[in-house]
Structure 1
Amino acid sequence: MPEGFAPRDWQERFVRAYQTNLKKNFLLEACTSAGKTAGALHAFDSLKNVLDWRFLVVVVPAEHLMRQYAQDAFNLFGLNLFYAGTVRSLGRLPTPEELLNQCYHGLVISYQWLSYSNNSSLLLNNLSRTVAGKVFLILDEVHHTSSDLAFGQACERAFPDRIVSHRLMTSGTPFRSDNRRILGNWLTYTPVEENAYQCVPDFQYRLADALRDEIIPPFAFVTMEGEFSYRRGRAEYNGRTFTNATNEQDLTDALNTAIDVQGGWVKEAILWAHGRMKLDRAKGLPECATYVRVPTIAAARQMKERIRNLTGEDALVVVSRDDDPNSTSNSRSGQDPSEQIEQFAAETGHGARSWIIGVGMLGEGVSIRRLKYRIHATNIRAILSFMQDLGRLLRCFPENAPEPVETLIPAHPQLVDLAVSALNEIAHVVREKEENEGRENRGGADGEGDSQSSQQLTANFMPIASTGEIGTHIVDGEEIESEYANVAEWMITNTTFGRYWHKTPAHLAQMLMEDKGLFDLYRMEYEKVVNQISNDQGSASTVIPDGFPSEYKDYLPTKKIAFASRAANKKAGRLVYLLYGNPSQEEMKEKVAQIHSIAKRRNCLKNDTFIGHEGWERIYKWLCDRIAEAPTRIRGIEDL
């Protein structure tokens, strides 16, 4: 065994099980961050001489993972794997004979490369000349392949039984969302009911196992609720929530309004993560970072600006060719996305950036150990994507004392269910009766078959405004009631016990639920502080908006309405002057009315209802923020 590699217990058990049950085709299911790569390479390195495997071929789900796999093979086992793909000067891939002569042990390619043009046939010919029957094949994240689609067909064409000695297929999520078998000829599917078949892994190491063995950090979910206003067709909807939705369309519209980058929900989500990272910096962990998942490239650009405006911090936007096929790079500098990710992952100290925004690039295999938080600001609700996104956080950082990690999700019932069931076993069941039903609507020709890939907002839908407030916490499949979560959040920052707590607030709340005596003790302290704050606020009345006189706090509500509405009207006029110079009186009146209408919508206020002084104060503050952004970021009413 190589000196640089110390196998984990499960990896040793897997290799023993593999050697005992040496099947032609073997499926290893191991959760993200458990060490699938090391486990698969450990099997090859342990048995290559015994079984006379002369050549290793690894196929990975994305081109940017080829170098990473080759690097791991060299660092862990001293294996040299060629990963550069087609050599331009040769116009082809080097042959196995050429690679073996140069002291290579094999090669790493991608499913994309294999399925392109006639690459699979050329590789088959090359393998058959010198290493037929002596090839050990690793199909990494094999759920990306299906016998019905291009990736799977290319694999079956390039690696038939006469060429390959053994096939080891690995996956952290061995299921698809499109009701297709992964590789029906190579994987085992057993009948579970009429016309329904379940994929059966040969060895399993699940998320719950890794959590028990402390291979991954403790993790929890935080839900964020809110109220949403939006327009669908000619109808305007206000005060909608995830709990009062009556149908799937209402839930979808509420979710799409929540993730609108300019809305209040996203603002609160950013501030939540920013507050968490400020606590990390105070603890001496300035490298901790947040991953924000968004649905589109446009949303990624807007999110970068929103983060800068709210926190003053820069964010890295990562866009791959899969996200934007018409682009060869995701930055004006032309830097490769993989290089940007590697650079971000390597940053340390106070100069390390705290935010990374992705559309689809941060998938399987991408390792950024310092990610501690994730914001689910996308409308994707498929279990495959959800689990893969969770996996981006499950790296131990720092390695000697791993920090707990948290994911913030909209309180959409489907996302809450996914969070609650994250530790549960997920079976891949194919129902053959439905095999062709709706096939044209279930993803593209390759990949994971995520039928809920990023939905585009429909033409007759427009988000108007949203709010955001923390809801339940979820840990170990259990929803934590807010009374326990609130006390736990307070304890983390205000008590000695909390400051030395080394898991998430949700884990602390879970402990408080089990220890009523401890909960009652700290709840009394918490309520004492909260009541004191309430009393202080009551004596000082409401915070007076900037520019309002100090005596405003003593005005009667009717007088406050009159003053605040006049102040808001003046700010609207000021905004018109900044945007349009010196308009005519008629134009001024028209544009002020338009601005007021937009301001009310953005603050979840109806145009045709009575507005109290608090509503006018919100409008006033909103207009002050817009004035600060004009005329650089806001050039006209259409930008509001």
Structure 2
Amino acid sequence: MSQLRAWQEDALREYSLWTPREGNGFLVEATPGAGKTRLAIEVACRALASGRVQRIVIAVPTARLEGQWAEEFGKQGVSINPGWQAADGRLASDEQGCAATYAEIAKQPQIYRKLISEKPTLVILDEIHHCGGDDRAWGAGVRTAFQPATAKLLLSGTPFRSDNDEIPFVNYVDGVGAPDFRYGYDRALADGVVRAVFFPRRGGLMEWTAPNGDSRRATFEDQLNDREAAHRLRTALSPTGDWLPSVLKEADAQLSELRTVDPQAGGIVFCEDSFTAREVVKLLTALGQSPVLAITDEPDADERIKTFKSSTAAWIVTIRKVSEGVDIPRLRVGVYATPWITELFFRQVVGRLVRIRPGEDDPTAYLYIPDDARLREMAAQIKQQRDHILDQQEAELLGESEANAGPSGEQPLFSLFSPISATPTDEGVIVDSDTITPVELANAEQIKRMDPTTVAMPTALVAKLLRNAGTTAPTAPAPSFETTEAPFERKEKLKKSNNTAAQRIARALDIPHSKVNGHLNKLVGVSVSRGVRQCSEEQLERRLRYAQQWLATGTAPGKEAE
């Protein structure tokens, strides 16, 4: 089993000291991509080894996750049956447990109650926020089935709901859900566990015909009531206007740039419905791509997602099937092309882009969003924690009336609404909680052309460093960031610059990338296998100078390149 991350060790210590309260479980809130599955399997394996439990049951929101959990447990020698049903009778003698969906459990809760009562059982409830209160089938079924379990481990990256339903087995203090262990995006980002996500904002001028026949026209800066704001957003997201094709073109260009260094990088588009998803596929195809369509209407959608995960295909287009629980770490560019506006869904979408891969040199991702005020605020606050507070409802979509209409927000009156046109505008990029303006981005591009040490850095990050340094326009020589950067930030910048320089040498001189890195490592006296990860700041600076000399002369410093 791979080595535990520091936060997982901390969580295990907290779990070992924890005392259950009134039959509740131990709730772990950890940002998507941080490694909740790895933590849960460690808890389960230790409980089995100690004899505290003899059976493991995993409850999940979708059937696809049943197999995913069984596969991960199997790697540790624990046999989990992902397709067990009551009709099968007892579990096989060589099976330590089973996985089931919340829907399956809700249909036959007494069967699962009997299953966990036969032996001391640890129940792992994955993405527990999907279960509502006792008046909801999933919540009631889970309570009935698992109340007597020996131990309950609750997992969620977003442990709150858009309604007033209590989440089963969560401890509430004065109406506020209280995680027993919390590992937020801000800490995960500082630990290098997840990627930094940039949010390019795209505004525009939208025109549409209102249900009463009137023509309306507005930008995202105009103050509108909820219904008109919904019409404005739907107009922007219409595939017949200019806004969506333009944003897709920009996102595709960003992905193509990333793929020059990271050929496995992928992109994802989240759409409102199957019609829009199919139109997006056509638009991406017109850009020369071969996108994968993964929507519920397609019978083999799950298999397409699985194939995409292990392929090098550029784009996947979906509605909500990939919004949660699907681990595709190579996704680095996203387009938010849906009017579904809730904090829960937005954070789930961001969670598809933050998962980092081992050895990733450029841990950044991009989510293109409409410049709607609500999305803008959610993007700026993505690092903040969110508690589940009872009696505080969050309207889904745009306004209470649309929230009551269901996932698509459609009501009979909407049939009279008709988008006319949508012209896009660039409103900058959200980095952390700050918006970097288009002018600042243009200045940063000039700086990158003047200073080779910044070439590998995302333009938005260069712009933010310039702002922090008080520099608003490019000067010669390029400004030093030393006064505003911590040592680890300077080293990260140098590592990326070294990586870019080595790639350029390899391409220009047709030398294997590994040999270029190996020679540069020897020149500065570090292990060939560990490379830049072992370099001091001084060694990184020296290594970059050697690389620049090599690229300029065509000859490896010190000796001829192998």
Q: After TM superposition, list the pairs within 5 Å mapping 1:239-638 onto structure 2.
A: 239-283=217-261, 285-309=262-286, 311-320=287-296, 324=297, 330=298, 334=299, 336-347=300-311, 352-397=312-357, 399-431=359-391, 453-456=407-410, 458-489=414-445, 491=447, 496-501=452-457, 504-517=458-471, 519-521=473-475
Q: Deviations over 1:76-107 (max 9, x none)?
A: x3221110233xxxx72442xx33x1x22211
Q: Deviations over 1:200-223 (max 9, x none)?
A: 111111111110100001211110
On the 8 A contact 1:373/1:393 being kept in 2, the answer is yes
On the 8 A contact 1:27/1:168 being kept in 2, the answer is yes
On the 8 A contact 1:229/1:236 being kept in 2, the answer is no
Aligned to 1:540: none
Cα distance in 1 between the residues matched to 2:394 and 2:278 = 39
The structure having more radius of gyration, on CA atoms, is 1
Aligned to 1:155: 142
Aligned to 2:150: 165
* Aligned-partner residue type, residue 157 of structure 2: G
Does residue 120 of the first structure (1) align with residue 103 of the second (2)? no
Further displaced range: 481-490 or 290-299: 481-490
Q: Deviations over 1:360-417 (max 9, x none)?
A: 1002220112111110011011000000000001111464424310100000001000
* Aligned-partner residue type, residue 205 of structure 1: Y
On the 8 A contact 2:278/2:293 being kept in 1, the answer is yes
On the 8 A contact 2:269/2:318 being kept in 1, the answer is yes
Aligned to 1:559: none
* Aligned-partner residue type, residue 521 of structure 1: T
Change (3 A) 1:492 1:80: farther
Task: Quote the offset at 1:442 in angstroms.
Answer: 9.4
Task: Quote the offset at 1:489 in angstroms.
Answer: 4.4
Q: Deviations over 1:152-197 (max 9, x none)?
A: 1111121232xx11111111111000121112xx221111xxxxx1
| Aligned-partner SS, 2:150 | strand
On the 8 A contact 1:225/1:411 being kept in 2, the answer is yes
Task: Quote the offset at 1:518 in angstroms.
Answer: 8.0
Change (3 A) 1:493 1:346: farther
| Aligned-partner SS, 1:373 | strand
Cα distance in 2 between the residues matched to 1:235 and 1:274 = 36
Task: Quote the offset at 1:246 in angstroms.
Answer: 3.4
Q: After TM superposition, list the pairs within 5 Å mapping 1:79-158 onto structure 2.
A: 79-86=78-85, 92-95=87-90, 98-99=91-92, 101=93, 103-116=94-107, 119-128=108-117, 130-131=118-119, 134-147=120-133, 148-158=135-145
Task: Quote the offset at 1:492 in angstroms.
Answer: 5.3
Structure 1 stretches (4+) deviating beyond 4 angstroms? 432-435, 440-444, 489-495, 522-525
Cα distance in 2 between the residues matched to 1:92 and 1:219 = 46
| Aligned-partner SS, 2:16 | helix
Change (3 A) 1:486 1:48: same
- Select 2:6's aligned residue among 4, 9, 17: 9
Cα distance in 1 between the residues matched to 2:66 and 2:449 = 43
Does residue 211 of the first structure (1) align with residue 189 of the second (2)? yes
Task: Quote the offset at 1:523 in angstroms.
Answer: 11
Task: Quote the offset at 1:433 in angstroms.
Answer: 11
Task: Quote the offset at 1:113 in angstroms.
Answer: 1.5
Change (3 A) 1:426 1:12: same
Cα distance in 2 between the residues matched to 1:522 and 1:294 = 45
Cα distance in 2 between the residues matched to 1:398 and 1:492 = 27
Change (3 A) 1:240 1:434: closer
Identical positions, percent:
25
Cα distance in 2 between the residues matched to 1:19 and 1:49 = 14
Cα distance in 2 between the residues matched to 1:399 and 1:249 = 47
Aligned to 1:41: 41
On the 8 A contact 1:65/1:365 being kept in 2, the answer is yes
Q: Deviations over 1:558-605 (max 9, x none)?
A: xxxxxxxxxxxxxxxxxxxxxxxxxxxxxxxxxxxxxxxxxxxxxxxx
On the 8 A contact 2:57/2:99 being kept in 1, the answer is yes
* Aligned-partner residue type, residue 295 of structure 2: V
Cα distance in 1 between the residues matched to 2:221 and 2:241 = 19
On the 8 A contact 1:372/1:405 being kept in 2, the answer is yes
Aligned to 1:605: none
Further displaced range: 476-485 or 285-294: 476-485
* Aligned-partner residue type, residue 466 of structure 2: L
| Aligned-partner SS, 2:309 | helix
Change (3 A) 1:238 1:159: closer
Cα distance in 2 between the residues matched to 1:299 and 1:237 = 23
TM-score by length of 1: 0.69
Task: Quote the offset at 1:505 in angstroms.
Answer: 2.5
Cα distance in 2 between the residues matched to 1:409 and 1:517 = 27
Aligned to 1:535: none
Does residue 61 of the first structure (1) align with residue 76 of the second (2)? no
Q: Deviations over 1:515-543 (max 9, x none)?
A: 23485427999xxxxxxxxxxxxxxxxxx
| Aligned-partner SS, 1:228 | strand
Cα distance in 2 between the residues matched to 1:93 and 1:156 = 23
Aligned to 1:603: none
Change (3 A) 1:433 1:408: closer
* Aligned-partner residue type, residue 422 of structure 2: S
Does residue 228 of the first structure (1) align with residue 223 of the second (2)? no
Change (3 A) 1:494 1:387: farther
Cα distance in 2 between the residues matched to 1:459 and 1:465 = 17
On the 8 A contact 1:14/1:203 being kept in 2, the answer is yes
Task: Quote the offset at 1:344 in angstroms.
Answer: 0.5
Task: Quote the offset at 1:506 in angstroms.
Answer: 2.1
Task: Quote the offset at 1:41 in angstroms.
Answer: 1.5
Task: Quote the offset at 1:287 in angstroms.
Answer: 2.2
Q: Deviations over 1:456-498 (max 9, x none)?
A: 3711210011111221211112222332222234555786244
Q: Which structure 2 residue ranges, 5 or more long, are not aligned?
A: 480-562
* Aligned-partner residue type, residue 410 of structure 2: Q
Change (3 A) 1:139 1:443: farther
TM-score by length of 2: 0.78
Change (3 A) 1:92 1:249: same
Report the RMSD for the aligned CA atoms in angstroms.
Answer: 2.6
Cα distance in 2 between the residues matched to 1:272 and 1:523 = 31
Cα distance in 2 between the residues matched to 1:342 and 1:472 = 34
Cα distance in 1 between the residues matched to 2:343 and 2:165 = 16
Change (3 A) 1:198 1:442: farther
Aligned to 1:447: none
| Aligned-partner SS, 1:43 | helix
Cα distance in 1 between the residues matched to 2:476 and 2:201 = 23
Cα distance in 1 between the residues matched to 2:394 and 2:410 = 26
